[in-house]
């Protein structure tokens, strides 16, 4: 009998448990481990970010991919929940138009993506470009 290689553990809500790390490799591991439809959406989010900010820095921290600009900090992260992906723009209150999801933190705004929502790619790309030009979070 051949043992099946176990993939990354899925935490509460189906979020992949990926070791902390800098660069594209841990982010790609996270994207590959996202369950069901979320993996395709996660890959699309990643591709849109890279297209909008070609020199984007990537990392996995706290079991979530982070995107930032060298010297400015992190501007965006996302996380899997049971029924949706929550995209956090750390300076989302400064983006136009303001993102729909409010936060307990005054600057943070969220975009929740459900399975059948699709992504308004033009608007998302515009938000990413705007966010990448603002001071980011130091984490």
* One-character DSSP codes across 121-132: HHHHHHHHHHHH
Assign domain 12-132 to its CATH architecture: Alpha-Beta Complex (3.90)
Structure confidence by residue, pLDDT tens digits, 91-114: 999 999 999 898 999 999 999 999
Mean pLDDT value across the chain:
91
Domains of the chain by residue range:
12-132
Per-residue confidence band for 6, with pLDDT thresholds at 50, 70 and 90: low
Per-residue confidence band for 43, with pLDDT thresholds at 50, 70 and 90: very high
For the chain, percent of residues with pLDDT exceeding 70: 95
Of 63, 74, 129, the residue nearest 107 (C-alpha): 74
CA atoms of 19 and 135, how far apart (whole Å): 26
Note the pLDDT of residue 7: 64
| The model scores a pTM over 0.85 | yes
- Alpha-carbon torsion (99, 136, 129, 94), positive or negative: positive
Strand partners, 79: 86
């Amino acid at each position: 009998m051949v043992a099946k290689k176990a993939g990354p553990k899925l935490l509460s809500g189906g979020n992949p448990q990926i070791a902390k790390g800098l660069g594209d490799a841990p982010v790609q591991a996270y994207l590959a481990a996202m369950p069901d439809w979320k993996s395709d959406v996660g890959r699309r989010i990643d591709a849109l970010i890279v297209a909008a900010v070609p020199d984007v820095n990537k990392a996995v921290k706290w079991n979530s991919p982070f995107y930032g600009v060298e010297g400015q900090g992190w501007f965006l992260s996302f996380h899997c929940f049971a029924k949706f992906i929550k995209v956090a723009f750390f300076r989302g209150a400064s983006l136009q138009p303001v993102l729909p999801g409010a936060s307990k933190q005054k600057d943070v705004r969220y975009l929740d993506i459900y399975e059948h929502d699709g992504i308004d790619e033009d608007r998302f790309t515009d938000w990413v470009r705007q966010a990448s030009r603002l001071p980011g979070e130091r984490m």
